[in-house]
Structure 1
Amino acid sequence: MVSTLPPYAATLGVEIERDAEGRPVLLMPFGDDVIGRPGFLHGGAISGLLEVAAIAALYHAIETEGPEDASVRIKPVTVTVDFMRGGRDKPTRAAGVVTRLGTRVANVEATAWQDDRDKPIAAARMNYLIVRD
């Protein structure tokens, strides 16, 4: 199970929660480190949260595949973020969904929301190169 996140996640104050199926859902509290204009999240913090959520989802999917003899590294190829509404001064959650997991390439979608998962504040699509050592 994914238990460690990239160091940037600590800067954002991100913690890992789990959904009912055990998949990672990330929680980012609102605070001075993620503030943009007064009362709103900074767009870079939202983008960072989405990227970390995608990474957590991808590692979870790779671990779910089964045991690997070699280590796996991922490298981002493309990242596209769509901002739908301003993130307010409250906790923000994000989760990723792996839409394709191949031998060398993975596609992941991530969504960030605050009060209602069905009303996202931002979404991202990311492509990763998978390097299996």
Structure 2
Amino acid sequence: MIDATPYGRMLGMKVMVAAPGTAALMLPAGPALEGRPDFLYGGVIASLLEMACLALVAQELGDVRRRIKPINMSLDFLRGGLMADSYAEARIIRMGKHIANVDAVCWQDDREKPIASGRVHLLLG
């Protein structure tokens, strides 16, 4: 779903096979995504985390007609994201009737060395 959105396509995001109860995306590095020299732009990393959370909640709801809207995001940039393919995986912390709380982690070569993590609160319309 997310890889079919205009923004997801523009960034080149791809849905990956993920463990049950999670969603995973891959973002290929490219010159258009560079921030400071040799590093991914932080906004692109934030977008990858957010899109992984959105993808998981949409997958869990199974109803594409429901509107899912971010109402709050908290991101931690843990190290610089190099110009390399990046991955994000999201998991639901709590799913209520109106709000979903989702965590996500982003890494590059080694999942045990994340470059960023985040918490996203989504309004379920």
**TM-score, L = length of structure 2:** 0.90
The one-letter amino acid paired with 1:34 is L
Give ranges in structure 1 of 5+ residues lacking alignment. none
Give ranges in structure 2 of 5+ residues lacking alignment. none
Tell me, yes or no, if the aligned pair for 1:40 and 1:86 is still in contact at 8 Å: yes
1:1-133 correspondence to structure 2 within 5 Å: 2=1, 4-21=3-20, 23-63=22-62, 71-131=65-125
Between structure 1 and structure 2, the one with the greater Rg is 1
Alpha-carbon distance in structure 1 between the residues aligned to 2:34 and 2:56 = 25
Label 1:48 to 1:19 Cα distance change in 2 as closer, same or farther (>3 A): same
Cα deviation, 1:46-93, whole Å, max 9, x if unaligned, reads: 011111111011112222xxxx6x831111110111000001121000
The one-letter amino acid paired with 2:87 is R
State the shift of 1:25 in Å: 1.3
Label 1:26 to 1:116 Cα distance change in 2 as closer, same or farther (>3 A): same
Alpha-carbon distance in structure 1 between the residues aligned to 2:4 and 2:88 = 14
Percent identity (aligned): 39
CA-atom RMSD, angstroms? 1.9
The one-letter amino acid paired with 1:89 is M
State the shift of 1:38 in Å: 1.5
| Aligned residue pair count | 125
Label 1:76 to 1:22 Cα distance change in 2 as closer, same or farther (>3 A): closer
The one-letter amino acid paired with 2:92 is V
Alpha-carbon distance in structure 1 between the residues aligned to 2:2 and 2:43 = 23
Cα deviation, 1:6-49, whole Å, max 9, x if unaligned, reads: 32111211111112448431110110121111111000110111
Alpha-carbon distance in structure 2 between the residues aligned to 1:98 and 1:53 = 11
**TM-score, L = length of structure 1:** 0.85
Name the SS of the counterpart of 2:67 in structure 1: strand
Name the SS of the counterpart of 2:15 in structure 1: strand
Label 1:77 to 1:20 Cα distance change in 2 as closer, same or farther (>3 A): closer
